[in-house]
Structure 1
Amino acid sequence: MPNQLRFLIVVVVALLVAATFTFPLWRVPPEFETISDELPGLSAALQADFDDLPRAIQTIYRLMARENPSMAQLMVEARLRPPDPLNEEMPDISNAQEVRSGRFQPLTLTEEERRADPDAELPPYNALFAADGDLFVYAYPDDRYLFRIEEFIITNGPDLVLILSNTQKPLSADQFGRDYIEIAPLRSNIGNMNYELRDININDYRSLVIYDRRYNMIYAFAPLG
């Protein structure tokens, strides 16, 4: 073999060996997908408020924006809307009887519930919602029912309504029950409120649900005990 060819082979082999051992230094770094800090459609003022939310909540909204930008924008705008508390006086209940009560809470699944129904799943954006407050149901002699909500607070939404459900813990609108009743729009996400219904059998119903009609999401529920 000519010396010139032998030298060329040695050089090529040396380069290959060097390339093998230095690969981590010269390889092109992979491109990792990043999530933008800004949420499309928000004003500068709301973007600043959005940045103050917990990072985990921000991330969920950003992931939502990838699939449905307008939904993410409207839900964030509703959430960040300045609070407008409503404090309605307690009506006269001197001739009424308390027949049900409950406490508002976000949807959760206990270990026992998961074992009883392995297919049960919480809604995909459930972690965005928080709620608290007391519910009292009073029955009047004239077949009226007063739904009294006290010390209430909930994550605000675009189109929240009150649903009286046949199910104690519906995980979706499909589980509201055959005879569910849409009582009224939620008048405020903070405060004390009164709602009335007539001519119902309260024993047929097991929870009061806060539901967003626009995006078909359950924000919270109060089981009727």
Structure 2
Amino acid sequence: MNKLLIAIIVIIILGAGWYFVSPLFLSTTVEDKFPFSVPTEEEFEQMTDEEKFELEMKMLEEAAKQPDVVMEETMPAEGVTPETEPAALASGEFKDADSFHKGSGDATIYRLPDGERLLRMENFDVTNGPDLRVLLVKNSDPMSRSDVGDDYIELGKLKGNKGNQNYEIPDDVDVDEYGSVVIYCKPFHVIFSTATLN
């Protein structure tokens, strides 16, 4: 009975140890495509027929999502075109939180042509850890749990510690109120990396 109890305790300790330590040795690379990126003419010509068809179907799906509305406004003045490309609202570069928790890459908040907002992290690389989250924080340079505060917006679990990633920003969030993007370890309340938004 004692040997069985010891074996169960050892298995639990090993499992917990693996959960907390393995992220330090494992990396996950994510390559999310940037939405609404329209290929250039050269890129379009190099596409296969199947890729062209998929692009056409995607564009039709997006067009179908747009509401049917009667225009009450006059046509825009000549030379003024409606927004058809994503617009950068704020951006910053990730930096190390300390000598152990390191991060680099770019963080940009975009307004897409359909009005949605998106956090795009590019060339992103951060020290991996357990249960990392992507937060919008009001403090522009948070260095501790108290700097993060309780009024942050959690955009989701970090998809991977490397690569290019997209996170949707809820419609009711005023992005002008937030000064940084933070990669945060939820169980231990530790900041892994921050990007001050300008």
TM-score relative to the length of structure 1: 0.56
User: Larger strand proportion, structure 1 or 2?
Assistant: 2
1:220 matches 2:193: yes
Structure 2 unpaired stretches of 5+: 1-12, 38-83
Partner of 1:198: 170
Write the distance in 2 (CA, Å) between the matches of 1:182 and 1:173: 14
Tell me what 1:56 maps to.
Answer: none
Q: How much is the aligned-residue C-alpha RMSD, in angstroms?
A: 2.2
**Matched residue, 1:134:** 106
Instruction: State the alpha-carbon separation in 1 of the partners of residues 195 and 131 from structure 2.
Output: 18
- 1:144 Cα deviation after fit: 2.0
Larger Rg belongs to: 1
- 4+ residue runs over 4 A deviation: none
Is contact 2:110–2:119 with CA below 8 Å preserved after alignment? yes
Structure 1 counterpart of 2:23? 78
- Could you tell me which of 161, 166, 169 is aligned with 2:133? 161
**In structure 1, C-alpha distance between the alignment counterparts of 2:190 and 2:135, rounded to whole Å:** 12
Question: Does the residue aligned with 1:170 lie in a helix, a strand or coil?
Answer: coil
For the Cα contact (< 8 Å) 2:36–2:112, is it kept in 1?
no
Say which SS state the counterpart of residue 163 (structure 2) adopts.
Answer: strand
Mapped partners of 1:140, 1:179: distance in 2 = 25
Distance (Å, rounded) in 2 between the aligned partners of 1:161 and 1:205: 16
* Cα distance in 2 for residues equivalent to 1:80 and 1:42: 16
Q: Do the aligned residues in 2 keep the contact of 1:130 with 1:155 (CA within 8 Å)? A: yes
In 2, Cα distance between the equivalents of 1:185 and 1:80? 19
Q: Kindly provide the amino acid, as one letter, of the partner of residue 126 in structure 2.
A: I
Distance in 1 between residues matched to 2:193 and 2:150, nearest whole Å: 20
- Calculate percent identity across the aligned residue pairs: 32
Letter in 2 for 1:79: L
1:192: Cα distance to partner?
0.5
Shift in Å, 1:97: 1.2
Is 1:211–1:217's contact at 8 Å kept on the other side of the alignment? yes
Deviation at 1:74, TM superposition (A): 4.6
Q: TM-score, normalised by structure 2?
A: 0.63
Q: Which has the higher contact order (CA 8 A, sep 6+)?
A: 2
CA contact (8 A) 1:166 1:178 kept: no
Instruction: Please state which structure has a larger fraction of its residues in helix.
Output: 1
Q: 1:128 & 1:198 partners in 2: Cα distance?
A: 32
Number of residue equivalences = 139
Distance of 2:106 and 2:190 partners within structure 1: 21
Shift of 1:127: 2.2
After superposition, the C-alpha distances for 1:134-164 in whole angstroms (9 at most, x for unaligned) are 1111113654211111111111001100010
